[in-house]
Structure 1
């Protein structure tokens, strides 16, 4: 039987480098109903329902999500869509996601499976919509408890409010500043362990949370090791991770795989918050390890991880894939990711051999399942959402602006996108208001978390932008900071978009009106920024001139691989970035004159 939450919490949630052992009996189940089941990955390692299980042993099911980002309500815009590929190669867009529907999908998938475990590969919280973010993500943890999450690895966004806040989410208790949100309600923390094998204290080398857990699933012992990307320190606010070190993913997993083997645990699954980029973005596309299959950091990590690890459940890139990548012995091993925002979950099935106490590698199959919104929502999750919505309503429903059309964010799929330009314009306007003049603003693309959608949500009316929607776009509570750079430094910042840590996966800063240049993606490295095309208000950048620039506080600290921004002089801290966006929308739009999407034509892209 599943142990009680209180018993599990008292046994698990101490800060330790040792293993945390859980007893968790999976719910009974058979896969997703035929109407929900999509095809497998088509490469012989995930052929969907009905595929055979070679070898002796016991059936085991693993259900996995990643990068939920507190998306409790059905996400809007591109963040709530997935691409389905038909047999003839044509595609269609499906709407998906919402924790009520995710709970239903997981519960249906468990039926008929005597041994089932539900896991996650990081970023369950952080960068969350207002419904969760306003309450420091307590609603998301409570939702995950209700859908019976068994174990989760940490991601970089678990550190958005600092590692001590992550410990609070694990162990429970009122927020140290905001307190508890209702007199009759106590936050008990996560009923599942967060794993952080490669996140250690600099002074002791010990993990801040348990590095692994052993799930005993009706006699089947499986070890789960959780790691976040080694580069987490480069993409989170430094204050929140002071005193921590982030170790190499593969080396850490290999260390604990050996430790588990010494305990007689040979069945091992890695939860890795680092991912890849499939050549085909459809969630059900064929994917393999070849040049046209998947690229990105996870490929080399997978090729380096000990062959004793039986499957890799990954995340971070928000992409859907079920691929095979050879392990160091040259044998195929499944690597999966379920996109983001709860739009998909991955179902892995496999056989466990009691004689070897290991998973039969050739039996491992994986399929990404769509979280359809035409299924019945889980009532208990609906009640939870309603509770938190009632608390959030006074803040969430306030109008902050009006738009005449959708204003796409990163979902536009282009290096420059309209919502990024809009935010940069808002930050430049704020800088000018503070100081009387400023030259430009730059916005990091990863800080734009959703689209602004024209269609009404709830009772707000078409084109109305509410505070809750704005918060979903900019949930980090950064400040807008001003700093001075020379022209030479400004050009170096632009080059850092496509070089150094950002060479493989460029991070194109969204520019305010007046800045223009050519981005030539046929070139390599820093040369992709065509220097002699960079203009500000039509004039070339002068190396020796000083420019006043607005960026958010994350970028001002050198975040996202922009160390030159941290060299800026004469710093000044402005208002909260969400407040800046709201002020700009209120000043530049009305019901009679709604704001249109910027043209996103400030960067000329050559591909």
Structure 2
């Protein structure tokens, strides 16, 4: 049995509708005559998927869609940046003893250079300064393996890079990382604490943290080596029972798995319970023990503050604050001092934009300045030039201009026979972490692409691979974008130029790929022929639900994806002839609602 530790007295929890635990939901008549319980107020402030974005994210990654009250139309509002997030959270907090700040994972990993160059120590330091108390572990916390995750929690200088500043030793996170469903293959025990318990005005409050069960499918094999990932529902229910046995009846789940909102605007009306959000979190939430009073989620980078019915049919609060520090969720609730449970009808959850109109937090400005100076010699090195913004994220188009550029860079870099002889390359959309923005945020000048900006786009520095696939396997690869584990939420690969085909979204599963439309350099794919295909090591290993890649043969390992991207920018752009955004004409999409006439 794990001991319950109390890190501080007084703090908050979350939920919506009915009393939690095994208490029966009262009838209307009983509720009217029942004696009102004595309660205490509690506030939760929640974030997720920060990904080390200390400075305001660029391009579409740094905006939030909201409805303009003046026009009633959706608009994009600049948002995010740790200087503004810290101010927003500090202003939002009710009396400190009644507020808990929580997170649902991916606080680090896939981070811009200012954080990633120092193995995300700056982000951990910033999160401590802004008052984070507890977080679940996300899949990206495993990017560098469990030993590095433990170092971020416990402190110590990096084992190979050492300490970054003379006289400074990394202290580790003061907040609590939780990973209830991630266990060591050797010991069978969680690699980090499964839950954390505190008190709010004498009422015990427990937080259980889990990451998505499918983490091994979206992280390199080396990152999850020696680990097992159990199911989210079974794990949360197991530890909820353990907490109840210890007298902890107010429970919140922090889950690094999420859903898909019904609207792209952050503050849309969720409508009836469970109808405002879809995706994996819905099935998970419907099976979690009713004793869990609220669920804070992440992973999908979406915004929602909805309710989903628990196993007894009672609505329960389920929230997500988008990503990159652009939103935070405020959850206010009451705790019953007698039963120790969350009074679920009291729960009010709302997302708030981290607007860049508030004052910057001086301590965060100082932190960013300190690390930016250390990173400057590397970050400010120019690599190439662009003629306009080249978008890699945002909007619903399956083909992104920056995705095409990256795929072109990979194919060009690995086309020589001694580099692998790549005939075509594919880039996974999740690996494109930002846009390339024309207007300079620093001193380099408009249109100049620096190493730091390129790193923000491609922060994983995965090694490139070239494999041989048969024509049949190449077709299967394209079909796996919209079938199997990707059928419900397609992952459309970004292709290099020369590869063209049609997606007919009126069909189901693999049939969405119109096989007869597939052309490579104008020629149809020959099922019996072989093709040399380039991709980063994560994708080439079958990641993101592409087993056809893993079946490839004759593997040749090349340079890193970032080095290939940097070389392409240098060879294909100049101040006089900057790189232009390519036309999005490689994938023709027939929308699901299209009719033939």
TM-score (norm 1): 0.91
Q: What is the match of residue 52 of structure 2?
A: 70
Q: What is the match of residue 65 of structure 2?
A: 83
Q: What is the match of residue 507 of structure 1?
A: 491
Q: Deviation per CA, 1:291-324, whole angstroms, max 9, x where unpaired?
A: 7521100000000000000000000000000001
Match of 2:517 among 511, 518, 533: 533
Aligned counterparts of 2:415 and 2:54: Cα–Cα separation in 1? 37
Deviation at 1:409, TM superposition (A): 0.6
Q: Aligned in 2, Cα 1:26/1:589: closer, same or farther, shift over 3 Å?
A: farther
| Residues 101 and 373, structure 1, Cα contact 8 Å, conserved in 2 | yes
Q: What is the match of residue 470 of structure 2?
A: 486
1:92 and 2:75 equivalent?
yes
Match of 1:170 among 148, 153, 164: 153
Q: What is the match of residue 142 of structure 1?
A: 125
Q: What is the match of residue 563 of structure 2?
A: 579
Q: Aligned in 2, Cα 1:213/1:436: closer, same or farther, shift over 3 Å?
A: closer
1:293 and 2:276 equivalent?
yes
Match of 2:204 among 189, 200, 221: 221
Aligned counterparts of 2:82 and 2:494: Cα–Cα separation in 1? 31
Aligned counterparts of 1:336 and 1:175: Cα–Cα separation in 2? 35
Q: Aligned in 2, Cα 1:518/1:391: closer, same or farther, shift over 3 Å?
A: same
Match of 1:107, SS state, is: helix
Q: Aligned in 2, Cα 1:44/1:280: closer, same or farther, shift over 3 Å?
A: farther
Q: What is the match of residue 389 of structure 2?
A: 406
Match of 2:578 among 594, 598, 603: 594
| Residues 420 and 556, structure 2, Cα contact 8 Å, conserved in 1 | no
| Residues 10 and 199, structure 2, Cα contact 8 Å, conserved in 1 | no
Aligned counterparts of 2:91 and 2:120: Cα–Cα separation in 1? 26
Q: Aligned in 2, Cα 1:154/1:410: closer, same or farther, shift over 3 Å?
A: same
| Residues 61 and 113, structure 1, Cα contact 8 Å, conserved in 2 | no
Aligned counterparts of 2:262 and 2:522: Cα–Cα separation in 1? 38
Instruction: Say which is worse superposed, 66-75 or 199-208, in terms of deviation.
Output: 199-208
Aligned counterparts of 1:389 and 1:239: Cα–Cα separation in 2? 30
Show the 5 A alignment for 1:65-214.
Answer: 65-86=47-68, 89-112=72-95, 114-214=97-197
1:606 and 2:590 equivalent?
yes
1:444 and 2:458 equivalent?
no
Aligned counterparts of 2:286 and 2:64: Cα–Cα separation in 1? 28
> How many pairs does the alignment contain?
569
Aligned counterparts of 1:278 and 1:259: Cα–Cα separation in 2? 32
Aligned counterparts of 2:4 and 2:103: Cα–Cα separation in 1? 16
| Residues 49 and 301, structure 2, Cα contact 8 Å, conserved in 1 | yes
Q: What is the match of residue 61 of structure 1?
A: 43
Q: Aligned in 2, Cα 1:408/1:460: closer, same or farther, shift over 3 Å?
A: same
Q: Aligned in 2, Cα 1:102/1:89: closer, same or farther, shift over 3 Å?
A: same
Aligned counterparts of 1:199 and 1:340: Cα–Cα separation in 2? 23
Gaps of 5+ in 1: 1-16, 29-42, 46-53
Match of 2:516, SS state, is: strand
Q: What is the match of residue 391 of structure 1?
A: 374
Q: Deviation per CA, 1:188-224, whole angstroms, max 9, x where unpaired?
A: 1000110000111223321110000102234232100
Q: Aligned in 2, Cα 1:436/1:126: closer, same or farther, shift over 3 Å?
A: closer
Aligned counterparts of 2:518 and 2:339: Cα–Cα separation in 1? 63
| Residues 273 and 315, structure 2, Cα contact 8 Å, conserved in 1 | no
Q: Deviation per CA, 1:387-419, whole angstroms, max 9, x where unpaired?
A: 100100000001111000110012142111100
1:428 and 2:408 equivalent?
no
| Residues 418 and 597, structure 1, Cα contact 8 Å, conserved in 2 | yes
Aligned counterparts of 1:508 and 1:215: Cα–Cα separation in 2? 43
| Residues 229 and 249, structure 1, Cα contact 8 Å, conserved in 2 | yes
| Residues 420 and 511, structure 1, Cα contact 8 Å, conserved in 2 | yes
Aligned counterparts of 1:288 and 1:243: Cα–Cα separation in 2? 43
Q: What is the match of residue 335 of structure 1?
A: 318
Q: Aligned in 2, Cα 1:436/1:286: closer, same or farther, shift over 3 Å?
A: closer
Deviation at 1:460, TM superposition (A): 1.2
Show the 5 A alignment for 1:552-571.
Answer: 552-571=536-555
Aligned counterparts of 2:132 and 2:420: Cα–Cα separation in 1? 52
Q: Deviation per CA, 1:112-154, whole angstroms, max 9, x where unpaired?
A: 4540000000000000000001111000000001011100000
Q: What is the match of residue 24 of structure 1?
A: 8
Aligned counterparts of 2:68 and 2:3: Cα–Cα separation in 1? 44
1:281 and 2:250 equivalent?
no
